Structure 1
Amino acid sequence: MDSRASLSASASASASDKTPAPSPSPWAAAGVSDFDETLYHAILHQPDAGIAVWSRLIGASPARVRRACARLLRLGLIQAPDSTGGLRPVDPRIAVRALIRKRESESEQLAATADELTKVYAAGLLRVEPSSLIEVVCGESANAARLEELYARAEHEVCLFDSPPYLAPRTPQLVLQGELLHRGVAYRTLYSATSLESPDLLAYAEGMVALGEQARVLPTVPMKLLVVDGHTAMLPLTSSDVGPGYSAVIVRHSALTDALRTLFETLWQQGTPLGRVPDDDEELSAADRRLVGLLAAGMKDEAIARHLGVSLRTLRRRVSDLQLRLAATGRFQAGVRAAHRGWA
């Protein structure tokens, strides 16, 4: 091959390398291979044809088609032979939705193991390198930046002891916390009554409650504390009068974060709800009545979410709101108290 031919071949190879890869089929996410998808389309076109005809339609051996049919049968896309005939497709509107629900359920089960895996991971870190569980952050601007990062990473719930020092201006913080609530992240704050003596801070707290925050008040709270998703905590190391030298510590999942979460829950139960308490004759919406009935029945969150057609995050936020309205300490107690009021 001469040099010109080599250059031409090289250019052709280079051009082919730049050809974008085809987008994966949406069926891949459901565990359906390209071959199985092709066969499924053939079955939909000729539902009663049988394996021999389907094999000819897609140009594959009957044995391979039979194995693929077994996979489609396990996925619920076709149904087994019965007295009325052989293999037949299930209505795609039913089969595909059932397949999606199954995958969502499997994903939720996997996500539910994350907390347990995190505990194992944290225990391993503690044995190998205990210092990695602690991070010291110095300076007001650095602390404000880490605070924003913790908010951004929150997935389930943020718990806060609100007392001086305040690491960031209130207006940006209100935006950050509002975004959390919009994402379905539960937000609970235990305010110091002395802090709320300031009209600005009281207006801020009332603004947060209007956005969906659950808020309670104690005469004093022991410290400034943030607990994110029950496994990451941030608390001050220095007093508020050190100015630029202010420092805080971030503690990752460990016995210390478990203790801090327990402290929050203990004081939370002692707090007085901030905001309007409903009258005994206040009525619930139809959706909340349905939720109350399911809570009183003792159903698990996953089952209630399926009944109501909402995500787990949305459900947990609604349950938290209901508990606050009823001054209940748990889901079941909320259901019982609502039933006693005639809400269920």
Structure 2
Amino acid sequence: MSLLQKISARAVRRVVYLSRDLQHALGLGNGIYKSAKGNRIILYHGVCNSEPLKFNTLFITKKTFEAHLKFYKKHFNVVSLDDYYAQKFNKDKFNICITFDDGFANNHKYVLPLLQQYQVPATFFITAITTEGHDVLWNDFISIFGKYGPDKIVVSDETYIKNRHNKYISTITGTGLIEKLWGCGFSEKEAMMKELYPLSPFKTNPSDYDYWQQMSANQIAELSASPYVTIGAHSLYHNDLARININDTMAELVNSKLFLENITQKSISSFGFPYGSYSPEVITLAKSAGYTQLLATAFLNWADKSDAAMRERFTINPFISVNNQMRATIKGSYE
């Protein structure tokens, strides 16, 4: 698709979204919710009080999330992850399962009280990064550092220049820093954070805590104690498991499971692939590690649809209204 075609498609989509919101405001077009049938697993990440797009596109505000919950309670049937796998659905409504990735402390702070208030179940896929002495994921580190860091940096003797999107691009290869690190093991990412942090010590700013702080062991335990919460694993270091060494992949699968089971004193049987990325080899390793529920974003091939352990998830869009998000959720597409 050409740039002009992309711009045209976005313009048309905006008109459609505005039209739907107008209909919704007038009390029209809501029949879609009453007649909708089917099911979908929804994927959230972070929740904050304000400025959800401050560092990336993975956050929504607490106000928006509460509006989602109100909508779910009114129009949909919300089920737990176990019930979703067991297909314990309401045949007269659209069924959804709420999931959160990454293990942000803001999930404990903002999401847990709302789940209890509205009596809605959700599953949280949490990394074990804190067991390694870290409180921020490497990709969140780069996103936040990109906003506050200097225009030029040097990492492992390679110079990077910050572009207008706050992305650091190599002056030698033209490759972004985050892309270069994507397939690396954690030791390279850890070295990067240690090298760059003194240039912009963002952790000293309390107003940014919600955007990077990982949950503590105590917060994970409190989350797990709620009758509305299921805990799942999300790797050890938040690496792309399909790109790293296979032995490292297995270690991440096993150690993250042990970490969470030790805290929650419950069996951990579900795993959310970081970035939704996986491979046939990763699926095999995950099953051998004891996981029976494996969640991606989009399937790599048709065969995965028939795998009893595999499920797809639909990532929420922070740029659209609640009404349009709900319509997209039913459709399974933002087109």
User: Normalised by the size of structure 2, how large is the TM-score?
Assistant: 0.25
Q: Which has the higher helix share?
A: 1
User: Normalised by the size of structure 1, how large is the TM-score?
Assistant: 0.25
